[in-house]
Amino acid sequence: MSGGLLAAQLAAAGALVTFTAIKRRSRRPYRFPTAPAEPVSAGRDQVSVFTFGRDLYSQMLADIAAATSTIHFETFIWKSDEVGRQFRQALVDAAARGVKVYAIWDEFANLVVDPRFFHGLTGVHVRPHPLLTLGLPSVRNLGRDHRKLLIVDSRIGYVGGYNIGKTYADRWRDTHARIVGPAVADLENAFVDKWNLRPYASLPSRRRPERLSGPISRSWDTTIEVRRNVPRMAMYPIRNMYLEAIDRASKRIWMTQAYFIPDDDMMAALRSACARGVDVRIIIPAESNHVVADWLSRGYYERLLSCGVHLLLYQGAMVHAKTCTIDGAWTTIGTANIDRLSLQGNYEINISVVGAQVARAMEEIFEIDSRNCTEMDLDRWRRRSVIAKFTEMLLAPWRPLF
């Protein structure tokens, strides 16, 4: 019986992936509204929020080109296309002029990339997150490095959802923050800790990666806090950050999520917020790049809509942002999705900001994005086809895995 159920689930997932791939061949050109990246104050830091990949990449490459001492670069996906090659060359050029350049990427996420692409990182210190981690199979050893960071000269820091590749330059709607100020030290410290995380005492000295030193000083009074999930140390503060922020909400919760598969506690927090009159709105992709994740997410629509959550389906492009702004006072931008892989599995990093200016900028971005959405209502959702309902039910047992 269980074997037959698994076969049916795999067949359904395969059919969804195949059908979606065929449909995407005839997709119209990607068009979606974006907001200019204007710097705003967050205490002693300046934050610029980027919503268009091409603009973000241009600024990142300019900062890399101007680097004089250090560059710390970390990404989940690093395509070997035109954009990926631009970043590789920028890092190589920086190393050639004497800048100390360190790069991390996830080997599993880049299995389709020709290894020769990474061999071209001449002069760059590299430490890819390994495809397999030695030791007993456990959550601590299985987490992927889903983080995206760039820190230049200990002065400028980037964090957000953007991977590196041509697709993300103009086809995906994502969000990244550029930070200038004392909070950059915390981003740099997060990179250094990841670089130094695993012991190499058993390796020959010639193969041991250089151990990095953290920032000389970090401030206690930054408006921006860095939250990072570290599976190796069983640390998962980002989930708690979300739950605490949602529990504090009194006016509005405006969230954008690429993959929204909440656990019971997250669902309860959102229901409670709606019950006390909070305006809860969640932007999710009408169709993401992972069709199975879409169908798993749809299994929560009935409960979300029933308790008063406004579900806004983003049209015409993949929305990959992982952001939330609450009550015009609190904001988070980062790499963690609202699903188990991000909140209880992978290496992730988010910033949280308590400040009206950043929240106002994020609310303006949310309103721009909302105009590119259609809202799902409960009556329309309940009228979906019997086949759709059956597929959701069939795939429901997979939700705890995502």
Each residue's pLDDT tens digit, 134-143: 665 666 678 9
Residue 244 shares a structural domain with residue 127: no
The answer to whether 143 and 234 are in contact (CB under 8 A) is: no
Q: Tell me what pLDDT residue 84 has.
A: 98
**307: confidence class by pLDDT, cuts 50, 70, 90:** very high
192 band by pLDDT with thresholds 50, 70 and 90: very high
| 210 in the same domain as 253 | no
Q: Based on the domain organization, do 286 and 388 belong to the same domain?
A: yes
**Which of 187, 221, 255 is the last residue in one of the domains?**
221
Task: Give me the mean pLDDT over the 340-363 stretch.
Answer: 96
Mark whether 267 and 384 lie in a shared domain: yes
Going by the DSSP 8-state scheme, the letter that residue 299 receives in this structure is: T
- If asked whether residues 97 and 217 sit together in one domain, one would say yes
Average pLDDT value over all residues in the chain: 87
User: Bridge partners of 310?
Assistant: 281
Alpha-carbon span 225 to 321, nearest angstrom: 19
Instruction: Name the pLDDT band for 203 (thresholds 50, 70, 90).
Output: very low
Does the pLDDT of residue 18 top 90, yes or no?
no
Q: Do 115 and 53 belong to one domain?
A: yes
Please give the Cα distance from 93 to 95 (Å, whole number).
5
Residue 80 pLDDT exceeds 70: yes
If you compute the radius of gyration of the chain from its CA atoms, what whole number of angstroms results? 21
Q: Which domain holds residue 365?
A: 237-401
DSSP secondary structure, 10-70, as one string: HHHHHHHHHHHHHHHTTPPPP---------EEETTEEEEEE--HHHHHHHHHHHHHT-SSE
Domain CATH for 318: 3.30.870.10
pLDDT value at 323 more than 70: yes
The answer on 214 and 265 residing in a single domain is no
Contact criterion met (CB below 8 Å) for 99 and 70: yes
Measure the CA–CA gap between 116 and 7, rounded to whole angstroms.
Answer: 38
pLDDT at 119 over 60: yes
Is the pLDDT score of 159 beyond 50?
A: yes
What share of residues in the chain are helix, strand, coil (percent, to 5)? Answer: 40, 25, 35
* pTM of the shown model: 0.89
Inform me whether the pLDDT recorded for 266 exceeds 80: yes
Residues 313, 372 within the same domain: yes
From 167, 190, 221, the end of a domain falls on: 221
Domain identity same for 65 and 196: yes
Q: How high is the pLDDT of residue 22?
A: 42
Q: Is it the case that residue 311 has pLDDT exceeding 90?
A: yes
149 versus 202: the higher-pLDDT residue is 149
The domain boundary, picked from 188, 221, 254, lies at 221
Q: What is the mean pLDDT of residues 345-366?
A: 97
H helices of 97-160, in order, are 115-119, 139-142
Give residue 313's identity as a one-letter amino acid code: L
What would the pLDDT profile of 31-65 be if each residue is shown by its tens digit? 799 999 999 999 999 999 999 999 999 999 999 99
Question: How many structural domains are present in the chain?
Answer: 2
Query: Does residue 78 surpass a pLDDT of 70?
Result: yes
Least confident range from 4-18, 51-65, 191-205: namely 4-18
Q: Give the pLDDT band of residue 8 (cuts 50, 70, 90).
A: very low
> Which pLDDT value is given to residue 293?
64
Same domain, 283 and 202: no
- pLDDT of residue 1 exceeding 80: no
